Amino acid sequence: MMNQNRRLPFQPGPLSMAIAIITLSQGTLAQGAEQEPLVVVVEGKALPLDNAEAVHPALMEQLKPATNDTASLLRNVPGVSLNGAGAVSSLPSIRGLADDRLRIKVDGMDLIAACPNHMNPPLSYLDPSNLGELKVFAGITPVSVGGDSIGGTVIADKPEPVFTLGDESPRTNGEIGAFYRSNNNAVGGNLALGHATENVSIRYSGAWSQAENYSAGDDFKTFTDTGRPGHTLALDEVGSTAYETQNHTLNLAFKAGRDLFETQLSYQDMPEQLYPNQRMDLLDNEQKLVNLAWTRQTDWGELETRLYHETVDHFMDFGDDKRFWYGTLSGPGNPCDPISFHGDPAGTCAAGMPMYSESENTGLTLKAGIDLTANQQLRIGTELQRYRLDDYWTASGGGMGPGTFQNINGGERDRIAAFAELESELNARWLTLFGLRYERVRSDADDVHGYNTTPTAPGMQFIDSTAFNARDHEQIDHNVDLTALARYRHSDTLDIELGLARKVRSPNLYERYTWSSWAMAATMNNFVGDGNGYIGDIDLDPETAYTASITFDWHAGNSGWSLRATPFITHVDDYIDAVAGTNWAEDQFNVLQYANQTARLYGLDLSMYLPLANNDWGRWSLESVINYTHGENRDTGDALYNIMPLNGRFTLTHQNNGWDNAIEWVVVDAKDDVSDLRNEIGTDGYSLLNLRTSHNWEQLRLDLGVENLFDRAYALPTGGTYTGQGRTMSMTGIPWGIAVPGMGRSAYVGVTVKF
């Protein structure tokens, strides 16, 4: 791991970023371009005011062999960053708002993380190999795709069903792929098989992958291990970063005239996903899902109905790196293999702490797009969601017994929503969209108890549970969203888009109903990866965000070059932050409680495209994305947690004779603006160089690349606190102050064969 006190050779700051912006924009405006940029083609009727940013299919195909984390495919979208978690479960953040503050729809469904550490977020159920479209609505989100969120919407969909034309014979095809990544010895494969006739489409998609712990860059720091006096940790190997997962999906579609019927059956088995910024690890996650949809094209527009049901069985405990620790063993357990822990024999094996989460998620959607006139469309709909959760921890020895700890017992969260939005083309220059959405969100939970139900139970389990059970747990929120968008065509080279929105999100079950102040229990309830413990608050109010943004879109008349700039500001009333407990102290882990406060976020997103040349050596172009977000708690003046510092990606692309090549330069500023309340760890600035190339033959595709070419050491600015090894069950059993290191150099190769 990198030395937090040592500055890397290149430290990008605001001035260097500004110079880069000016240089590129001058080059953009100075050059006319004959080459048109790659554009996203979306089948079906395109919305004139669709303000989503889509991941280009060609880029998505190039990045798939480099990752099994679907969320990481969003890394080139303006305004999007990633909060570190497990290897396949990073959490997308849009302009500083992440996790449940975003609406993430997977194949039209609203999936929910059923885990006190949010180890199974929605995108973790979708393998990149089974992804057809991925797009982001940032900030100003139409009410038809928003709801119960304040930061934006991510939409991830499988490939659309394929049918033959009327005079074609039935078609059977498929593809098989495999990859290898050097840093963590990641291997995996995927298989897709399809059969299509004029009216029937059947497709199976399966994927499997696994990886060992990854290694940090070539220069890393050693830290004092508080659980082992006189010893240090050397983080060349980053503990708790291994994983194994498999996903299977069967899609059946039937077309009859104007009607399309679709059935999706999905299954995930994830035996292991270890977490470097959590005190527990995912040791089993099983998802079963049924998704039914009916779409009808009519003379007046389109009608869509969707019904889905999902069950999740989730299990956490200590993985190998967290099970081995130093000191006196309390409770039953088997000795660890000392060779498996850096060859140090002076240790024992932790007893373990089994934790279970079981959930059921059922949803129904009815929506219609009605063409009122040739220039006006009305979209209306209603949505229902019924969610049930039980989170319990069985006895495991020591102070964790003799009974079962009920973290959330009989949790309920039900949503009923209705929306309407009107999109109008007023004239050749103006397009407008206005939307209204209402949601009723009801949450509830049953009474609870700790491991020990006697008044002398350790950690105030009896006192805390008694106080919680004395309360009325039911909460009902009435939430109203409003969106107004307008696009003005100023000239052939400038479009201006203005947006205002009011968005509301109700607290999730873990924010409302986690009840224990016992440090051991509280630290198990943490989905932000900062090592602290969290207690819920039944009386939390919904978050209400007011966002304003304006987008200036300069482009060539033939779309040869483009420059987009979006300044934005968001004010959040009742922002769910945290307040300190009675024993809070600096430079250590603490127990905090969720609380409503006031927040403000503002910043700027920039994206640019510049064709450079089109000659005998191929087509050359330059693409870049620059993001800046500042977030502040207006009540305390403290910085908001996990805000990505100023950062940019600059990519030189080249295409020639079927080869598609790219050199990507990633620059990230130092993170000095940190949350003092959470004792957030600052990180140094860094720069990385990534290379990738691919070639498509008729039935064969080859992808090659190197991430972090120069093996730079760096810490992840939004990766949280390193808690990946040692005695993590104890709040003070692991050292404080270590940021999670980023991955060192990793070469990868991917091969796909179509048949």
Over the chain, what is the mean pLDDT?
Answer: 90
Residue 611 lies in a domain: yes
Beta-strand relationship, 102-106 and 152-157? parallel
Q: How far apart are the first and last CA of the chain?
A: 44
Number of separate domains in the chain:
1
* pLDDT tens figures, 461-501: 999 999 999 999 999 999 999 999 999 999 999 999 999 99
Query: Under a CB-based contact definition with an 8 Å cutoff, are residues 136 and 77 in contact?
Result: yes
Tally the C-alpha atoms within 13 A of residue 494's C-alpha that lie toward its C-beta. 7
* pLDDT tens figures, 108-143: 999 999 999 999 999 999 999 999 999 999 989 999
The arrangement of strands across the sheet holding 109-110 comes to: 53-54, 133-138, 152-157, 102-106, 109-110
With H, G, I as helix, E, B as strand and everything else as coil, classify residue 527: coil
Residue 347 lies in a domain: no
Chain centroid offset of residue 471 CA: 34
In sequence order, what are the residues at sequence separation of 6 or more whose Cβ sits closer than 8 angstroms to the Cβ of residue 339? none
* pLDDT tens figures, 598-633: 999 999 999 999 999 999 999 999 999 999 999 999
In this predicted structure, what is the pLDDT of residue 389?
98
162 pLDDT above the threshold of 60 = yes
User: Tokens standing for 378?
Assistant: 């009305």
Lowest mean pLDDT among 96-110, 213-227, 362-376, 634-648: 213-227
Residue 340 lies in a domain: no
- Residue position matching structure tokens 């020591």: 398
Angle subtended at Cα 499 by Cα 498 and Cα 502, rounded to the nearest 5 degrees? 165
How far is residue 140's CA from residue 496's CA, in Å, rounded to a whole number?
14
More confident residue, 213 or 7: 213
pTM > 0.75: yes
User: Tokens standing for 717?
Assistant: 């600015």
How far is residue 219's CA from residue 512's CA, in Å, rounded to a whole number?
42
With H, G, I as helix, E, B as strand and everything else as coil, classify residue 20: helix
Residue 332 lies in a domain: no
456 pLDDT above the threshold of 60 = yes
- Residue position matching structure tokens 């620790």: 325
In this predicted structure, what is the pLDDT of residue 40?
34
User: Tokens standing for 185?
Assistant: 């010895």
User: Tokens standing for 370?
Assistant: 């009605």
- pLDDT tier, 42 (very low <50, low <70, confident <90, very high otherwise): very low
In this predicted structure, what is the pLDDT of residue 581?
85
Average pLDDT over residues 184-199: 97
Short-list 247, 245, 250, 246, CA closest to 290: 250
How far is residue 511's CA from residue 203's CA, in Å, rounded to a whole number?
39
Max Cα separation, the chain? 82
Give the CA dihedral 143, 149, 150, 151, nearest 10 degrees. -100
Q: What is the b/e burial string over 342-358, where b = at least 16 CB atoms within 10 angstroms of the residue's CB? A: eeeeebbbbbbbbbbbe
Residue 329 lies in a domain: no
Query: Under a CB-based contact definition with an 8 Å cutoff, are residues 312 and 357 in contact?
Result: yes
Residue 333 lies in a domain: no
Lowest mean pLDDT among 216-230, 544-558, 634-648, 654-668: 216-230
In this predicted structure, what is the pLDDT of residue 570?
98
- pLDDT tier, 418 (very low <50, low <70, confident <90, very high otherwise): very high
In this predicted structure, what is the pLDDT of residue 373?
95
Query: Under a CB-based contact definition with an 8 Å cutoff, are residues 88 and 245 in contact?
Result: yes
452 pLDDT above the threshold of 80 = yes
- pLDDT tier, 101 (very low <50, low <70, confident <90, very high otherwise): very high
Residue 328 lies in a domain: no
Angle subtended at Cα 612 by Cα 606 and Cα 618, rounded to the nearest 5 degrees? 130
User: What residues make up the domain containing 182?
Assistant: 14-318+353-754
In this predicted structure, what is the pLDDT of residue 231?
58
If one counts every other C-beta atom within 10 angstroms of the C-beta of residue 554, the result is 18
Question: CA distances (Å), 444 to each of 527, 576, 618, in order?
Answer: 20, 18, 61
Percentage of the chain exceeding pLDDT 90: 82
How far is residue 465's CA from residue 467's CA, in Å, rounded to a whole number?
5
Long-range contact set of residues 609-615: C-beta below 8 Å, sequence gap at least 24: 609/28, 609/37, 609/561, 609/562, 609/563, 610/24, 610/27, 610/28, 610/31, 610/33, 610/561, 611/31, 611/33, 611/34, 611/35, 611/37, 611/560, 611/561, 612/31, 614/34, 614/35
Short-list 500, 433, 514, 445, CA closest to 475: 445
Residue 374 lies in a domain: yes
How far is residue 326's CA from residue 529's CA, in Å, rounded to a whole number?
23
16 pLDDT above the threshold of 60 = no
Sign of CA dihedral 690, 211, 731, 349: negative
Lowest mean pLDDT among 129-133, 318-322, 366-370: 318-322
User: Tokens standing for 656?
Assistant: 């020639």
Average pLDDT over residues 702-713: 97
Strand partners, 31: none
* pLDDT tens figures, 425-437: 999 999 999 999 9
In this predicted structure, what is the pLDDT of residue 733?
84
Average pLDDT over residues 141-146: 96
In this predicted structure, what is the pLDDT of residue 363?
98
- pLDDT tier, 51 (very low <50, low <70, confident <90, very high otherwise): confident
750 pLDDT above the threshold of 80 = yes
State the DSSP H helix or E strand holding residue 27, giving kind and residue range, or none if neither.
helix 14-30
In this predicted structure, what is the pLDDT of residue 228?
55
More confident residue, 352 or 470: 470
- pLDDT tier, 43 (very low <50, low <70, confident <90, very high otherwise): very low
CATH number (domain holding residue 741): 2.40.170.20
Query: Under a CB-based contact definition with an 8 Å cutoff, are residues 249 and 204 in contact?
Result: yes
How far is residue 64's CA from residue 750's CA, in Å, rounded to a whole number?
8
Angle subtended at Cα 47 by Cα 46 and Cα 53, rounded to the nearest 5 degrees? 90
